[in-house]
Amino acid sequence: MGTGQHILTNKTPSALFLVVTVDDGGEGAVRDAISGLAGLVTTVSSRAPESTLSAIVGIGSDAWDRLFTGPRPAELHPFVELAGAVHTAPSTPGDILLHIKSDRADLAFELGRLWTGALGDAVTTVDETHGFRYFDLRDLIGFVDGTENPTGADAVAAILVDEADDPDFAGGSYVAVQRYVTEFAEWNALPVPDQEDAIGRSKLENIEMDDATKPANSHTALTNLPDVDGRPQEIVRDNMPYGAVSDDGDKGTYFIAYSRTPEITEVMLRNMFIGDPEGTHDRLLDFTTAVTGVQFFAPTAEFLADPPPLPDTPPAEPADAPRSDGSLGIGSLR
């Protein structure tokens, strides 16, 4: 099993989430940037050795086959759109994810600046979100986020692909991201007891309600999955608040989930948007809207340092050469 990227870290005060698409002809530059990321992290970290700086790269399903020959992660596929009766989790473009975490916003910015500079016009940025730690790990709606995250060995088991399941990509991790925009005027108008019912947890003390009193459509009721065959169905969330202070600027939560299989995250999201039972959607979605949704795979550090070759591009036929199918290219013979 290879060495996973530095996914499991303490919650840093700053994060940068960058999602890009690979432009035609940009595959070589993207591979170079991916392989060179570890060196960039070392370079930027040297400016403040006492500060934490790390970066994780995820690769989307469509981009994988453009960048690498050979096998692909067994469960890598595009983000699955979920259209419920009331709310929708959209699937949006994204080939490469860069998730930067740092004690200092300037280090995260500098690493992102250098990395995108190395990519040049090989990519198009489709989402750039700067996250920040808010008080005692709360999101902007005032509740502590990530309470249900596993820790220690349980966290490692939750995020790393198992050797038995996919030996070619053991040690990697699947990553799902969504950016949520929150309607704060509506949320803040909700009395605190109703907010707590929507989350399934007390706001101040961060104590989860027991099953007897927790509403069936509360966030925690729909996202805490039962064990399967004695194995916990867990993910590691590394969510961060983000936003503009002006009333007309977007603000909310950047959701990012690492897991050993995308199926666990997909079941949680299905419960939220479709309901369990169907029609009982997550009450929190009445106040926050998912505007992006992308699925990636984060390979091991060894894979990124020495990736498989770039797929061969077949040579173009001369303009005046006969078509290989025997036709003259004038029209279809169907």
Model confidence over 42-75: pLDDT tens digits? 999 999 999 999 999 999 999 999 999 999 999 9
Q: Judge whether 133 lies within some domain.
A: yes
Q: Judge whether 320 lies within some domain.
A: no
Q: Tell me which of 4-13, 80-89, 123-132, 289-298 is least confident.
A: 4-13
> What angle in degrees, to the nearest 10, is found between the helix axes of 105-119 and 27-45?
150
Q: Judge whether 287 lies within some domain.
A: yes
* Whole-number pLDDT of residue 228: 86
Q: Give percent of the chain above pLDDT 70.
A: 93
* Whole-number pLDDT of residue 332: 36
Query: How many domains are contained in the chain?
Result: 1
* Whole-number pLDDT of residue 329: 37
* Confidence category of residue 105, pLDDT binned at 50, 70, 90: very high
Across 167-185, average pLDDT: 97
* Whole-number pLDDT of residue 318: 53
Inform me whether the pLDDT recorded for 274 exceeds 60. Answer: yes
As a whole number, the mean pLDDT across the chain is 93
Tokens of 139: 């999101």
* Confidence category of residue 243, pLDDT binned at 50, 70, 90: very high
Across 164-182, average pLDDT: 97
Cα 334–chain centre separation: 44
Q: Judge whether 326 lies within some domain.
A: no
Q: Judge whether 51 lies within some domain.
A: yes
Q: Judge whether 137 lies within some domain.
A: yes
Residue 113's H or E segment, with its range, is helix 105-119
| Cα distances (Å, whole numbers) of residue 139 to 114, 130, 195, 253, 309 | 29, 14, 13, 7, 42
Across 217-241, average pLDDT: 93
* Whole-number pLDDT of residue 326: 38
Instruction: Decide if 22 contacts 63 (C-beta within 8 A).
Output: yes
**Where in the sequence is the domain holding 88, given as residue range(s)?**
14-305
Q: Judge whether 310 lies within some domain.
A: no
Residues 6+ apart with CB under 8 A from 285: 86, 87, 272, 273
Q: Which residues are catalytic?
A: 145
Amino acid at 146: G
Outline where DSSP puts E strands in the chain: 14-22, 53-59, 82-83, 88-89, 96-102, 123-132, 173-182, 236-237, 240-243, 251-259, 288-290, 294-298
User: Strand, coil or helix: what is 252?
Assistant: strand
Q: Judge whether 239 lies within some domain.
A: yes
Inform me whether the pLDDT recorded for 331 exceeds 70. Answer: no
Instruction: Decide if 102 contacts 10 (C-beta within 8 A).
Output: no
The one-character DSSP state at 120 is G
For residue 102, what are the β-bridge partners?
14, 53
